[in-house]
Amino acid sequence: MSTNGVVVRVPGKVNLQLAVGPLDPDGYHEVTTVFQAISLFDDVTVKYGPPNSGISLSVSGATSAGVPTDESNLAYKAAKLMVTKYGLSEDVAIHLKKEIPVAGGMAGGSADAAGVLVGIDALFELGLSRDELEIIAAQLGSDVPFSISGGIAIGTGRGDQITPALSRGTYHWVLALAGQGLSTPAVYNECDRLREGLAISKPQVGDELMQALRAGDSIALGKALSNDLQAAACSLRPALRLVLDVGKDYGALGGIVSGSGPTVAFLVEDDDKSLDLTVALSASGVVSGVVRASGPVHGARVVSTL
């Protein structure tokens, strides 16, 4: 089947656990993380561009302000990698319709890169397996393989080695957004600074967390959420502590900085119960926006052809 273009829908994520080991000589940290894909999506359109147009990138959507459209964008790098690796026509037009917060610790940039990989595979009929796509994805960034797989998965290594995890039920989230993003390397650096001189053990997945997921027990999951980068994110952005307090006061089952932040993810019992917390956060003056989402949801997949 030959098409002019494809639209790939890709989810954002929260880290239910993020355990960070010591800094390795390659500049990365060994991590053990549990990802959940949630229902905030970017739609990535990949089309053939006009002759000699090269790789072009455009953006729209609620969270697209300030997103670069040049080769610094990870989605552009993903297209370049595929074009070079598979000797494809350079003329690829990519459009990102963004809903996932930018630099928010929710893998928005990684989602767009994952969407480009899946979109180019479909458009050029490369027939790559999910495993092959995830290996290419890992060259682009630590979170990109999970954006392809979606669902709930354990990430090891840099977070890029993905193993699907057993889970039951649907989990409901209230996400407190910040006006300004945080840089992932800066948060990891701050984590190292705060832990200087401490013995850091090998990161391991939490038994209670995995049990809670297997049982579909959101109360137990709320208690088991953990993130070793949270102290660092709060140190760089002290207002995050106030945001976390609002969650405690308004009945969240648990609250956590997502990844390297600054988005704070609150687990709530069900979508109805999230209203109080949504109103309280909006009124608190310490967040720039509040959105609701649920998970797990699927990873990057083609939703329409053009």
Residues that bind ligand C5P (CB under 6 A): 27-29, 31, 141-143, 158-159, 184-185, 188
Report the residue number, 27 or 127, with the smaller CB distance to ligand C5P. 27
Quick check: 286 and 239 in contact, CB under 8 A? yes
Which residues touch 277 (CB under 8 Å, ≥6 apart)? 174, 246, 247, 250, 251, 252, 266, 268
Give min distance, CB of 158 to ligand C5P, in A: 4
Catalytic, 143? Answer yes
Q: Which of 43, 143, 160, 228 is catalytic?
A: 143
CA nearest neighbour of 103 among 130, 136, 77, 64: 64
Catalytic, 13? Answer yes
Report the residue number, 31 or 234, with the smaller CB distance to ligand C5P. 31
Q: Which of 13, 47, 97, 98 is catalytic?
A: 13
CA nearest neighbour of 236 among 188, 195, 197: 188
Report the residue number, 3 or 161, with the smaller CB distance to ligand C5P. 161
Report the residue number, 137 or 302, with the smaller CB distance to ligand C5P. 137
Give min distance, CB of 28 to ligand C5P, in A: 4
Characterise 4 by phi-psi region: left (phi > 0), alpha (psi -120 to 50), beta (else): alpha
Give min distance, CB of 18 to ligand C5P, in A: 9
Q: What H or E segment, with its residue span, contains residue 154?
A: strand 152-156
**Residue 60 forms beta bridges with which residues?**
97
Active-site residue list: 13, 143
